[in-house]
Amino acid sequence: MSTTPQFNEAERSTAAALPRRELIVRYDASERTNHWLVAIVFVLAALSGLALFHPALFFLSNLLGGGPWTRILHPYLGLTMLLLFLFLAARVARYNRMQPQDWQWLRQYRDVIANREDRLPEVGRYNAGQKLVFYSAAGCLALLLLTGLIIWRVYSTGYFSVGLIRLGSLLHAIAALVLICTIIVHVYAAIWVKGSVRAMTRGTVTPGWAWKHHRAWFREIMSHATNPRSRPD
């Protein structure tokens, strides 16, 4: 017995009208601006951090004016990235709550990898993979903040023991590595799923893209289209 969701009459009527309507808005201008600011500051913070991490990567410090400036600017870049992420998280956190269908989505990882989305549970605005990226980034940034304050020698000298500073440096590097890997996966997935980059550059997606990749969210959009008083969660 097929488990592929079917349109009801209202959905079928709305779906027929959608191609003649404007594209579906997925991210407004402020969300896109916030996202790209986080991305830009992340790249600067990551490159400056790598320059300080190992002598072989010290040449990256030239991007920020040399070693002294890299050492000065890196902590402030980290704090700026955290603040920008908090603004973004405040807007999208409610969409990132894990639901029962998300756990089922993760259990069907083979279908995810094989791009057999017709076999997967319906997902809302974000799928389980995107939600894990969100939680991973949030956790890493929290750890980076805590350890960064400990190893920020300009302000921490005299407050923490040498052993704690060494531990903080190790955990800071691990959190940074996990965050960099998380963002690489995030970028790869955005490129892999055709149409995702457009959503974050132009803010819109096609009805077909929404139906294929985020069917529950698409149903909410259609429900709003047929009943203007309703609002998608």
Express each pLDDT in 94-151 by its tens digit. Answer: 999 999 999 999 999 898 888 888 888 999 999 999 999 999 999 999 999 999 999 9
By C-alpha distance, which of 96, 88, 80 is closest to 43?
80
Q: What is the pTM of this model?
A: 0.84
Q: Is residue 85 part of a domain?
A: yes
- Pick the catalytic residue: 74, 172, 186, 213? 186
How many other C-beta atoms can be found within 10 angstroms of the C-beta atom of residue 210?
24
What's 80's domain CATH number? 1.20.950.20
Number of domains making up the chain: 1
Note if 74 is an active site residue. no
In a domain, 136, yes or no: yes
Residue 10 placed within a domain? no
Q: What's residue 9's pLDDT? A: 52
The Cα 56–Cα 186 span in angstroms is 27
Does a structural domain hold residue 82?
Answer: yes
Does 230 or 23 have the greater pLDDT score? 23
Q: Which tokens belong to 220?
A: 């909410």
Is residue 171 in a domain? yes
31: in domain: yes
Question: 55 is in which domain, residue-wise?
Answer: 24-89+119-223
Quick check: is 161 in a domain? yes
